[in-house]
């Protein structure tokens, strides 16, 4: 895992990779800037009405309570925007940047690693959509636990680590690994995959460094997946001799 993180640090400074760094950031910024301009006032008003609804109406009309409710609305909107912006940046990285990075890393660092998978853009989008919907659901379900204090420090890292793992593992291997190889690597290195996701989640919390974190995270998964896939094929070659073709269907 640490070798993959070091290799990703070397790869991220390459000129062709650096040009991809701004892609997820600009994509997320553009999307939520446009949506904010179009729908921010409507969403804020909807939250105000929800707070003031029914039994809370009298409480809401009081001066201090009304002031506090305005803060509640603002904090709620910001808490919602954090995971949405994060998910958007990683979604763009997974569906757009990862195929490009996998090709560049494969050509430069793993030229002997054969592509036995399939370049499946639809599969990548479906995986990213599924992971993103579950990620946002986890945020909504666990949001009340944040009021307890300590979970607010731990839960974002655990949830974001899961999201990184689910999102990037598929895209790191889909073009090179067969379905059987992908499943074998997932089972054999499950804790390491999730560990990479946790490290990526922690890096994504660091100011300025998090500008590079989506691309760096993707690169770490690519290097880890390619190295493990190379080892797997070498072991299978030693056990059964050189295989004449791919085994199993593509990812």
For the chain, the domains span 2-25+82-240
Q: What percent of the chain has pLDDT over 70?
A: 73
Q: What is the DSSP string of the chain?
A: -HHHHHHHHHHHTSHHHHHHHHHHHHHHHHHHHHHHHHHHHHHHHHHHHHHHSGGGHHHHHSHHHHHHHHHHHHHHHHHHHHHHHHHHHHHHIIIIIHHHHHHHHHHHH-TT----S---HHHHHHHHHHHHHHHHHHHHHHGGGGGGSHHHHHHHHHHHHHHHHHHHHHHHHTTT-BHHHHHHHHHHTHHHHHHHHHHHHHHTTSTTGGGTHHHHHHHHHHHHHHHHHHHHHHHHHHHH---SS--S-B-
| Between 62 and 166, the higher pLDDT residue | 166
Q: How confident is the model at residue 205 (pLDDT cuts 50, 70, 90)?
A: confident
- Predicted model pTM: 0.78
Average pLDDT on 155-183 reads: 92
Specify the pLDDT at position 79.
63
């Amino acid at each position: 895992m640490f070798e993959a993180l070091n290799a990703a640090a070397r790869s991220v400074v390459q000129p062709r990779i650096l040009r991809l760094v701004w892609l997820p950031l600009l994509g997320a910024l553009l999307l939520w800037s446009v949506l904010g301009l179009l729908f921010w006032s409507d969403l804020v008003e909807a939250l105000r009405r929800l707070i003031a609804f029914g039994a809370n109406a009298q409480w809401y009309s009081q001066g201090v309570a009304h002031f506090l409710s305005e803060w509640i609305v603002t904090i709620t909107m910001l808490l919602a925007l954090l995971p949405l912006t994060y998910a958007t940046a990683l979604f763009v990285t997974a569906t757009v940047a990862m195929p490009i990075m996998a090709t560049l890393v494969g050509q430069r660092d793993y030229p002997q690693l054969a592509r036995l998978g399939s370049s499946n853009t639809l599969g990548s989008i479906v995986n990213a959509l599924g992971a993103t919907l579950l990620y946002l659901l986890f945020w909504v379900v666990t949001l009340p636990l944040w009021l307890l204090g300590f979970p607010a420090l731990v839960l974002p890292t655990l949830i974001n680590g899961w999201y990184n793992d689910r999102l990037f593992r598929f895209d790191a291997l889909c073009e090179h690994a067969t379905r059987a190889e992908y499943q074998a690597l997932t089972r054999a290195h499950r804790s390491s995959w999730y560990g990479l996701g946790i490290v990526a989640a922690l890096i994504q919390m660091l100011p300025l460094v998090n500008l590079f974190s989506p691309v760096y995270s993707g690169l770490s998964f690519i290097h880890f997946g390619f190295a493990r896939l190379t080892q797997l094929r070498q072991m299978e070659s030693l056990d059964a001799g050189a295989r004449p073709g791919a085994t199993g269907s593509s990812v």
